[in-house]
Amino acid sequence: MNGNEKITVVINTYNAERHLNACLEAVKDFDEVLICDMESTDRTLDIAHSHGCKVVTFPKGEHRIVEPARQFAIDRAENPWVLVVDADEIVPCALRHYLYEAIQKPTGFAAIAIPRKNYFMGRMMHSSYPDYVLRFLKREHCHWPPVIHASPEVNGRVIKIPSARQDLAFEHLANDTVADIIAKNNTYSDYEVPRRRKKNHGIMALLCRPAFRFFKSYFLKRGCLDGLPGLIHAVLDAGYQFAIVAKLIEERQEKRHSS
């Protein structure tokens, strides 16, 4: 379909029943839809099978993040191009048409970064747009590191969809609550600690990193246009940075006391 070049949609899942029907309905017209499930215990697999998806399993084990399963899933796609979609994201029809048109032309790119609309307290956040995610890839030219928040490593030219093209942006349905964000910040900051152990963060980082993140989110990225939700979101962003630095300092203090 859609010319000689074909696309596989890859969706990593774990207990993703909440938005999966809507997600799969939006990608049904791609050449292949592959679900890589991390041993879900809810209705995720039933929903996937009802949509006729190809399903593979990645053992969850002790993993609390999706990145270790990304490359595993991509390697099992049948087609040369892959569109990696989260189970709480919607792919607009306009984006599907754009991607198929792009790969029929001799443009020489290996990946496309796609903007994403994020929501909080029921509204799209200016401070979180365009939130580019590198998700459309030539399979043989990419590698996805098994590290939290990692982007794929691409051997080739990467292009971006212009941020003004909001009609081509992923719709992120998560609309996380304050409690959701705090819980995620706690999990994600745990994974950030090993990555930053070589940085000798102290009291200045404890104060300055959260302050800069707040300034960036609320002013530079125009969170101030989002009213009270924008203010709350900026404070939560700052709290994430505070948690990372505080955990690094705590770890260092514990080592000193134990020695």
Tens digit of each residue's pLDDT (9 = 90 or more) over 130-165: 999 999 999 999 999 998 889 999 999 999 999 999
The last residue of one of the domains, among 145, 172, 199, is 172
Token pair of 160 as six digits: 């971006």
pLDDT band of residue 177 (cuts 50, 70, 90) is: very high
Q: Which residues pair with 64 in a beta bridge?
A: none
Q: What residues contact 134, with CB distance under 8 A and at least 6 apart?
A: 111, 112, 113, 114, 151, 152, 154, 158
Residues 119 and 183 in one domain: no
State the virtual CA torsion across 241, 222, 164, 32 in degrees, nearest 10.
Answer: 30
Q: Tell me, what's the pLDDT at 12?
A: 98
Residues 68 and 167 in one domain: yes
pLDDT band of residue 200 (cuts 50, 70, 90) is: confident
DSSP helix/strand/coil, 88: coil
Residues 44 and 165 in one domain: yes
Instruction: Work out how many domains the chain is built from and give that number.
Output: 2
Quote the radius of gyration of the chain (alpha carbons, Å): 20
Residues 54 and 152 in one domain: yes
pLDDT band of residue 2 (cuts 50, 70, 90) is: very low
Residues 158 and 193 in one domain: no
pTM above 0.85, yes or no: yes
Residue 194 has pLDDT above 50, yes or no: yes
Residues 192 and 146 in one domain: no
- State mean pLDDT over 80-102: 97
Residues 77 and 196 in one domain: no
Phi, psi of 207 (to 5 degrees): -95, -45
Phi, psi of 34 (to 5 degrees): -115, 125
The last residue of one of the domains, among 107, 138, 172, is 172
> Which residue range forms the structural domain that includes residue 184?
178-258
The last residue of one of the domains, among 172, 200, 234, is 172
In angstroms, the CA 259 to CA 250 distance is 14
Q: Tell me, what's the pLDDT at 3?
A: 57
Residues 194 and 126 in one domain: no
Residue 7 has pLDDT above 60, yes or no: yes
Residues 20 and 87 in one domain: yes
Residues 163 and 189 in one domain: no
Question: 184, 172, 176: which is closest to 23 by C-alpha?
Answer: 172
Residue 1 has pLDDT above 70, yes or no: no
Residues 117 and 64 in one domain: yes
